[in-house]
Amino acid sequence: MATITLRGNPTRVDGELPRRGASAPALLLTDKSLNDVGLDAFAGRRKVLNIVPSLDTPTCAQSTRHFNADAASLRDTVVLVVSADLPFGAARFCSVEGLANVVTLSTFRHAEFLDAWGVRIADGPLRGLTARAVVVLDVDDRVLHSELVPEIAQEPDYAAALAALG
**Sheet containing 9-14: order of strands:** 2-6, 9-14, 120-121
Instruction: Write down the pLDDT at residue 49.
Output: 98
Q: What is the pTM of this model?
A: 0.95
Closest CA to 27 of 105, 92, 84: 105
pLDDT for the residue 137: 98
Weakly modelled stretches of the chain, pLDDT under 50:
none
Pick the CATH number of 2-12+44-163 from 3.30.540.10, 3.40.30.10, 3.30.70.2660, 3.40.630.10: 3.40.30.10
Dihedral (C-alpha) 13, 139, 67, 91: value to the nearest 10 degrees? -80
How much is the pLDDT for 146? Answer: 98
Query: Is residue 96 within 8 Å of residue 104, measured between CB atoms?
Result: no
pLDDT value for 1:
84
Domain ranges of the chain: 2-12+44-163
pLDDT of 94 reads 95
Catalytic residue, candidates 52, 60, 90, 105: 60
Q: What is residue 166's predicted lDDT score, i.e. its pLDDT?
A: 86
**Chain segment 72-96, per-residue pLDDT in tens:** 899 999 999 999 999 999 999 999 9
94 is catalytic: no
Distance between CA 82 and CA 56 in Å, rounded? 13
pLDDT at 36: 97
